[in-house]
Amino acid sequence: MAVVDEIKPVIEEVFKKAVEKAPEIKGWNKAYQFIVEGEGEFYIEIKNGELIVAEGKHPNPIATLTADKDTLKKVLSGELDAMKAFMLRKIKITGNVLDTMNLKKLIDYGTGKA
């Protein structure tokens, strides 16, 4: 099973809950690339009020986040704070690091942390 198939339903649920609490998220036009160590790549894109989760490389992501699958699952479930994971170097970010705070906001709203 591709990593995107495992992660996609989790991200979709987080997105659904996040937009209920912060509807402005639907107005975003952002894409984030994820590299899951030893598992593959996928991206999430929020565009025209919709969430797209797809395997492969996005042509123009805002930022690229690299982590192992366990860390990514913990962050998306709210078990591990994204900022803490970054500070512990469990997540590496290239590109617009500041804009990944928006991604953290989405995760926090979606997991009930905000």
Q: Give me the amino acid identity at 14.
A: V
What are the structural domains of the chain?
Answer: 3-107 (3.30.1050.10)
Give me 45's structure tokens.
């894109």
Residue 78 per-residue DSSP state:
T
Residue 3: what pLDDT? Answer: 85
48 dihedral zone (left: phi>0; alpha: psi -120 to 50; beta) = left
Per-residue pLDDT of the chain (114 residues; tens, 9 = 90+): 688 899 999 999 999 999 999 999 999 999 999 999 999 999 999 999 999 999 999 999 999 999 999 999 999 888 999 999 999 999 999 999 999 999 999 999 999 988
**Rg of the chain over all Cα atoms, to the nearest angstrom:** 13
pTM: 0.92
Residue 4: what pLDDT? Answer: 87
Residue 1: what pLDDT? Answer: 65
Residue 67 makes CB contacts below 8 A (sequence gap 6+) with 34, 35, 36, 37, 75, 85, 90, 91, 92
Residue 114: what pLDDT? Answer: 82
Alpha helices in 22-114 (DSSP H): 69-77, 82-87, 100-110
